[in-house]
């Protein structure tokens, strides 16, 4: 049985302790004048194990706006973003730290956590694990896809399920779905927050910037620091135009599958290859598709093209390159 | 111009400072064994001005589960409640602190707040104020009532509006809608959380209790403590059956109007009378309706009866009495 740290290094390479994360943020944002006139917003899951990271983030620029809901999705939405933007100190900028979370318990099990006062390890993130079960049932035809929720009583979980659904095959094709799940949740949340920023960015006044730091939070057993794996750290202006990409450490690629499901080994080797080489790019027929601007419009076109159902495409987050493979 | 504290005492009598609130919670929950095996959950608005109360609540039993979203509604919903219940230490109980918030700025304006680094006071709670504008437009026929949201992008604010709508006339008939708004938001949230507890209570294991502390959080200018006006503090078992009502200080009544809109003065005098006398009860035709058990089923029946549209009913929260008036 692997220890928590061994498993963490294997599944979430380049994850930083909370302390390292804070130093990293300070260093990267200093050139943009972040400090007393900045506001930090978080979008982390409701789960109480996520408060320590928020407490640490409060150390950056003071009290934080909390836009997250179940599983970490920024369910405060466009109104939440707009409200946050109107709370930024005059002349200042904001930083949004977002992402799903996943526990690794003391026996090295991913998706589990040792909770205060409980004898048995429990699911973490519970909402993500529930959504994972839902999308599996949809894949297998056991339940129908839920429509939009008509009542607020459990709307968030319904939305978590529907936003995970496009990633369902990828999660369930993985060797350990619990390891793939947080990456899939991250991709779903990343897409969601981009849409929110696109609609809400103009609420940030003057020359204010919007820094987006997305990744996966990893919760560990008591006595250990939590970790955060940055998967995106970009600065945008208030027209939602990218100003700079601040992340240059290689991070694991994200995968999105159509109906074509390669073997787990294929996924694993591709992931790892992309992880450590920013030059791996394979186009539709093996050719290099070049550097495709990372915008949701083009990504969607890629996904929904005539070959979509037979295409495996891999987005290398940091190198801003797409790798598309046809069977 | 009234000072912040004068206005606070006038509009939110019996509000406690955060410190007083914590002592009050400790004292009231001690007989139920709350302590190391307890978990606190909050349902407070995203706004960063609400983190100090959460920080204080963390001092009770450790890190808190955060189930709140825009305006403080527990948008984590039934799944959120269930997840929280499964995080309670073995053999323990939970406390949920929920409610809307409202700012009072340094000039005594209710619904405004002096924010860090901003020259001008801003709306607080912004989401509630936006919903207040929406329901006014619906009342005046300027916009149609929104249906359920089809996308998660701004679902929360849509739900905030729809849950405030039944209280629209009452808010806009008030002398100062900004003072009535937090009471209306509280009532909407109270109804919502009761539904959640009803559906989710069985997730609390063993003999665990569910303490519900609902009220209005009042945010004040920098340098002052925030306040919390408790409007309900009940202990339930895990069958959603009431065990004890812990709140015996008189609090302001909540009002709910049908189409019958009395003058502002009528509302004010009734409110104040109920506030200071637990014996004021006026039935359908002036008779005493007696002590009606406070359960949502009966409240709904009251509201939807044949006379509903012409009835003004006043619920005296703490005395557990209803006062119904016919025009």
Identify the closest residue of chain B to A69 by CA–CA distance. B76
**C-alpha distances in Å from residue A21, one per residue of A24, A189, B16, B314:** 5, 20, 38, 53
Give the separation between CA B121 and CA B103, rounded to whole angstroms: 10
Residue A242 near chain B (CB below 8 Å): no
Give the separation between CA B15 and CA B80, rounded to whole angstroms: 28
Split at pLDDT 50, 70, 90, the class of A202 is very high
Query: In chain B, positions 173-232, which contact chain A (CB-CB < 8 Å)?
Result: 192, 195-196, 199
Beta strands in chain B (DSSP E): 16-17, 39-43, 65-66, 94-98, 101-103, 112-113, 122-123, 210-219, 227-236, 242-245, 254-257, 311-316, 321-326
- Asked whether residue B300 carries a pLDDT value surpassing 50, the answer given is no
- Test mutation, A155, A161, A192, A206, chain B, max B CBs within 10 A: A155
Partners of residue B46 in chain A, C-beta under 8 Å: 65-67, 76, 80, 83-84
Beta strands in A119-264 (DSSP E): 122-123, 210-219, 227-236, 242-245, 254-257
Give the separation between CA A204 and CA A86, rounded to whole angstroms: 7
Would you call A63 and B48 a contact, using CB atoms and an 8 Å cutoff?
yes
Q: How big is chain A, counted in residues?
A: 327
* Nearest by Cα to A77 from B122, B154, B10: B154
Would you call B148 and A151 a contact, using CB atoms and an 8 Å cutoff?
yes
Residue A130 near chain B (CB below 8 Å): yes
To the nearest whole angstrom, how far is the Cα of B220 from the nearest Cα of chain A? 15
Q: Give the pLDDT confidence score for residue A238 in this predicted structure.
A: 97
Would you call B79 and A195 a contact, using CB atoms and an 8 Å cutoff?
no
- The 10s digit of each residue's pLDDT in A61-72 is 999 999 999 999
Would you call B65 and A78 a contact, using CB atoms and an 8 Å cutoff?
no
Share of chain B above pLDDT 90, in %: 74
* Nearest by Cα to A237 from A202, A192, A284: A202
To the nearest whole angstrom, how far is the Cα of A238 from the nearest Cα of chain B? 18
DSSP state of A316: E
Q: How big is chain B, counted in residues?
A: 327
* Nearest by Cα to B104 from B92, B112, B116: B112
Residue A146 near chain B (CB below 8 Å): no
Beta pairing, strands A227-236 & A210-219:
antiparallel
Among B62, B153, B163, the residue with its CB nearest the CB of A77 is B153
- Test mutation, A67, A117, A129, A151, chain B, max B CBs within 10 A: A117
- The 10s digit of each residue's pLDDT in B180-215 is 999 999 999 999 999 999 999 999 999 999 999 999
Q: Give the pLDDT confidence score for residue A107 in this predicted structure.
A: 95
- Asked whether residue A253 carries a pLDDT value surpassing 60, the answer given is no
Beta pairing, strands A112-113 & A122-123:
antiparallel
Give the separation between CA A17 and CA B305, rounded to whole angstroms: 59
Whole-number average pLDDT of chain B: 82
Q: Give the pLDDT confidence score for residue B280 in this predicted structure.
A: 35
Share of chain A above pLDDT 90, in %: 74
* Nearest by Cα to B190 from B164, B170, B171, B208: B164
- Asked whether residue B96 carries a pLDDT value surpassing 50, the answer given is yes
Identify the closest residue of chain B to A74 by CA–CA distance. B153
Give the separation between CA B62 and CA B43, rounded to whole angstroms: 16
Would you call A67 and B46 a contact, using CB atoms and an 8 Å cutoff?
yes
Give the separation between CA B143 and CA B132, rounded to whole angstroms: 13
Would you call B79 and A196 a contact, using CB atoms and an 8 Å cutoff?
no
State residue A236 phi and psi, 5-degree precision.
-115, 155
pTM score, two decimals? 0.81
Residue A117 near chain B (CB below 8 Å): yes
């Amino acid at each position: 049985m692997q220890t928590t740290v061994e498993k963490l290094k294997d599944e979430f390479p380049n994850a930083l302790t909370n302390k390292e994360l804070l130093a990293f943020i300070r260093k990267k944002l200093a050139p943009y004048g972040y400090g007393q006139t900045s506001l930090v917003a978080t979008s982390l899951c409701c789960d109480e194990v996520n408060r320590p990271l928020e407490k640490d983030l409060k150390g950056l620029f003071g009290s934080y706006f909390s836009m997250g809901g179940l599983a970490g999705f920024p369910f405060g939405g466009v109104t939440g973003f707009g409200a946050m933007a109107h709370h930024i100190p005059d002349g200042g900028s904001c930083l949004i730290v977002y992402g799903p979370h996943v526990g690794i318990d003391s026996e090295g099990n991913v998706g589990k956590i040792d909770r205060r006062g409980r004898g048995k390890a429990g699911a973490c993130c519970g909402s993500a694990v529930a959504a994972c079960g839902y999308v599996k049932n949809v894949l297998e035809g056991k339940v129908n896809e839920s429509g939009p929720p008509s009542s607020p009583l459990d709307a968030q979980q319904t939305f978590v399920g529907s936003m995970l659904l496009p990633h369902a095959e990828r999660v369930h094709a993985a060797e350990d779905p619990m390891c793939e799940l947080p990456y899939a949740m991250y991709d779903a949340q990343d897409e969601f927050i981009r849409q929110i920023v696109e609609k809400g960015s103009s609420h940030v006044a003057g020359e204010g910037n919007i820094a987006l730091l997305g990744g996966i939070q990893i919760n560990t057993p008591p006595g250990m620091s939590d970790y955060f794996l940055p998967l995106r750290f970009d600065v945008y202006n208030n027209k939602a135009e990218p100003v700079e990409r601040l992340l240059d450490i290689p991070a694991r690629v994200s995968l999105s599958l159509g109906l074509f499901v390669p073997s787990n080994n294929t996924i694993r080797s591709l992931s790892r290859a992309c992880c450590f080489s920013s030059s791996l790019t394979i186009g539709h027929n093996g050719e290099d598709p070049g550097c495709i601007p990372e915008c949701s419009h083009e990504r969607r076109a890629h996904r929904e093209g005539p070959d979509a159902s037979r295409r495996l495409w891999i987005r290398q987050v940091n190198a801003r390159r797409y790798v598309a493979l046809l069977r």
